[in-house]
Chains A and B, each alone.
Chain A
Amino acid sequence: MLPERKRERLALRAALLRLTPPLEAVAEDVLGIVSRIDLVTRDPDGEVTLVLTAAQGADLARLAEGLAQCAWLTPRLADWNQLAPHLGLASERGARLLLVAPRFDERTRAAAESLGSERVRLAELVPRGELDVELRPLTEPPPAPTERVPRPATGFRTNLRD
Chain B
Amino acid sequence: MARELADVLHYFLEDARPAPCAPPRCLALVAEPDELLGAAFLWNLAHELARRGNSVAWVSALSDEELLPDDACAGIQRLLAPVAELAGLAAAVREAGAKLRARPAPELVLTRVPPSWLGPEAGAQDLLAWTLLLAGPELERRDEARVRSQRIADALPGARIGVTLTGVRSVREAEAAFGALARDFSTPRAELWSYGLLLDDHLLYDALLARRPLTHHRPESRAALALRDVARLLEEDWRRDAA
Q: Which residues of A contact B (CB under 8 A)?
A: 22, 44-46, 81, 85-88, 148, 150, 152-162
Bound CA span A45–B233, Å: 12
Bound CA span A161–B171, Å: 6
Residue B15 interfacial (CB < 8 Å): no
Which of B160, B170, B178, B232 contacts A162 (CB under 8 A)?
Answer: B170
Which of B160, B219, B222, B232 contacts A88 (CB under 8 A)?
Answer: B219
Residue B174 interfacial (CB < 8 Å): yes
Q: Which A residues are in CB contact (< 8 Å) with B24?
A: none
Known: A85-B219, A148-B236, A150-B193. A159 touches B229 (CB 8 A): yes
Residue B41 interfacial (CB < 8 Å): no
Q: Which residues of B contact A (CB under 8 A)?
A: 51-53, 160, 170-172, 174-175, 178-179, 182, 185, 191-197, 199, 215-216, 219-220, 222, 224-226, 228-229, 232-233, 236-237
B215 touches A88 (CB 8 A): yes
A157 touches B233 (CB 8 A): yes
Q: Which B residues are in CB contact (< 8 Å) with A152?
A: 160, 191-193
Add 10 more A-B contacts to A45-B232, A85-B216, A156-B174 (CB < 8 A). A46-B228, A88-B215, A150-B237, A153-B185, A156-B175, A157-B196, A159-B229, A160-B222, A160-B226, A162-B171
A160 touches B192 (CB 8 A): no
Q: Smallest CB–CB gap between B53 and chain A, Å?
A: 6
Q: Smallest CB–CB gap between B76 and chain A, Å?
A: 16
Q: Smallest CB–CB gap between B116 and chain A, Å?
A: 25
Bound CA span A84–B236, Å: 28
Across chains A and B, the number of contacting residue pairs, with CB separation under 8 Å, is: 70
Which of B51, B170, B194 contacts A156 (CB under 8 A)?
Answer: B194
Chain B interface helix/strand/loop/mixed: helix
Q: Smallest CB–CB gap between A1 and chain B, Å?
A: 28
Known: A88-B216, A156-B174, A158-B171. A44 touches B53 (CB 8 A): yes
Bound CA span A146–B65, Å: 36
Q: Smallest CB–CB gap between A81 and chain B, Å?
A: 7
Q: Which B residues are in CB contact (< 8 Å) with A161?
A: 171
Bound CA span A45–B49, Å: 11
Bound CA span A148–B195, Å: 12
B193 touches A160 (CB 8 A): no
Q: Which B residues are in CB contact (< 8 Å) with A148?
A: 233, 236
Cβ-closest chain A residue relative to B197: A158
B194 touches A155 (CB 8 A): yes
A44 touches B51 (CB 8 A): yes
Q: Which B residues are in CB contact (< 8 Å) with A153?
A: 182, 185, 191-192
